[in-house]
Chains A and B, each alone.
Chain A
Amino acid sequence: MLDDFMIRAGLAGVGLAFAAGPLGCFVVWRRMAYFGETISHAAILGVALSLMLQVSIFAGALAVALLMAWIVNLLSERGYAIDTLLGVLAHSSLAVGLVVVSFISGIRIDLMAYLFGDILAVSHLDLAIIWGGALLILILVMWRWSPLLTVTLNEDLSYANGFNPKREKLLITLSLGLTVAVAVKVVGVLLIVAMLIIPAAAARTLARTPEAMAVIASIIGAASAILGLRAAFVLDTPAGPSIVCIAAIFFITITLIGTFKKIQP
């Protein structure tokens, strides 16, 4: 069954969506969208370096994404004007990555595959990496769920309850790095953050508790992956962007219905 490339693609998308649901909620709650952008843009540099050094793309993307995650986490601790700094880091690492790729001669590189993903070419090994990474992220987030929520509400409250908020924040940032590395193949570096925040934002209208929001986000993400692949197949459109389009349609529909219900008593 796994020999069908559409099935593998579907499983890859669903795996990513499951991890991106709860983590994406934290990105939305903690307003870390730009954090995510910076880490994901850095991944293209990782891709370029691993092509140059001829090592696995996943390993290269993971190493650079984790490094960038660690750097931005450190900078945010210092309280620099983080918004500007993230912008500098995000776009310069993207630019450097693109320049490095242009130096690699000999093989013709399809850059689009890394910018927008190549989910239809997911191999058995890719699938194992995606699900392994996704499960690791899910386990980490579920294990630290209450402390992570407490940190999101108030850092001093988390100190008083006996958790170190710095450790919890580092956990979120490193999980973001891992998600980025896992997602390069699925939706590409430019659309990773979309998979984090769009399902979570769509789930907000439907949820009354943080847990419900995380679960609904995962379900919306998984549905987007499956429907997006189907749409790409039928309409002959690129798969990664199609998945994001479906997620956006979910968001718009749910938000409109929610607003309409609020107006109607």
Chain B
Amino acid sequence: MSLIQVEKLSVNYGSRIALSEVDLKIEPGEIVTVVGPNGSGKTSLLKAIIGATPPTAGSVKLKPNLKIGYVPQRLNFNSSLPMTVERFMQLRHKGGNKSCVMALEEVGVSSLIKQQMSQLSGGQFQRVLLAHALINNPEILLLDEATQGLDQPGSAAFYRLVEEARQNTGCAVLMISHDLHVVMSASDRVICLNGHVCCAGTPAVVASTPEYKNLFGTETDRTLALYQHDHDHDHDHDHDLKNSAVR
């Protein structure tokens, strides 16, 4: 059965409509990316899935006892809270230290185990968060804008780790992101959200739809869109580049 089944989900905050009639299904082992501009309801969708936001209408069904690994956008770390990487990992995993080390090794940061969380760099911090999400062998990883604050190579490296984790453990991945190019090439399916589902499908299909171009061409990257419009061949060139950045 599907890990997550969202049917006709609507979420309103007072009179503001965040999501209307969204359908979404996640099958085991697939990587699904939700893209959309600011205020398109990406975060509301994720919050509804984990139960933080009650649906106004429609339903969110999770597979019974679904094991979720959640990678938040950020943590409220302030200097008043002492926390080693090791202790942070144990918040989710009681018992042996071995699996903490293994999870950290998987994302290449096991040398940081005795460090204070507040002293990590942005990239290290995100990797520790990923290891934290992976430690209990989740059936699905949920990533909420997990690479905000990382530069493009940093994000690409991060998504490569996510892809590796999927290959090693077979977990499904649902992520929401701004980093369109990097994220999309790593996905099996892309869902383009703007309050409702504008378009969905494989990355190549979605990137060529007029809805997608409308949304991202005009709102987030006007110059690139103009450029692509004028020089169609450059679009392919760009596509190759982004693949090479990921592989």
Binding site for B on A (CB under 8 A): 28-29, 31, 146, 149-150, 152-157, 159-161, 201, 204, 207-213
Contact = CB atoms under 8 A, between A and B. Distances in A.
A156 B48 CA distance: 10
Interface in B73-104: 74-78, 80-84, 87, 91-92, 94
B116 interface: yes
B53 to A, nearest CB: 9
A149 B50 CA distance: 19
Nearest to B94: A146
B82 A160 contact: no
Mostly helix, strand, loop or mixed at chain B's interface? loop
- What 6 pairs between A and B have smallest CB-CB spacing? A160-B70, A159-B52, A159-B50, A153-B75, A29-B81, A154-B72
B156 interface: no
Contact of A160 (B68, B77, B78, B83): B68
Contact of B72 (A29, A149, A157): A157
A208 B116 contact: yes
Given A207-B82, A212-B82, 11 more contacts: A146-B94, A149-B91, A156-B52, A159-B50, A159-B51, A160-B68, A160-B69, A161-B92, A208-B84, A208-B116, A210-B83
A209 B85 CA distance: 10
Contacts of A212: 82
A41 B173 CA distance: 49
13 contacts: A29-B81, A146-B94, A149-B91, A155-B52, A156-B50, A157-B72, A160-B68, A161-B70, A201-B80, A204-B80, A209-B83, A210-B83, A210-B87
Interface in B36-84: 46-47, 50-52, 68-70, 72, 74-78, 80-84
Given A207-B82, A208-B116, A160 B91 contact: no
B91 A156 contact: no
B171 interface: no
Interface in B182-199: none
B34 interface: no
B82 A208 contact: yes
Contacts of B81: 29, 152, 210
B142 interface: yes
B150 to A, nearest CB: 18
A211 B86 CA distance: 13
A178 to B, nearest CB: 23
Residue in B46, B47, B68, B72 whose Cβ sees the most chain A Cβ within 10 Å: B72
Nearest to B72: A154
B18 to A, nearest CB: 15
B122 to A, nearest CB: 16
Given A160-B70, A208-B82, A212-B82, A153 B77 contact: yes
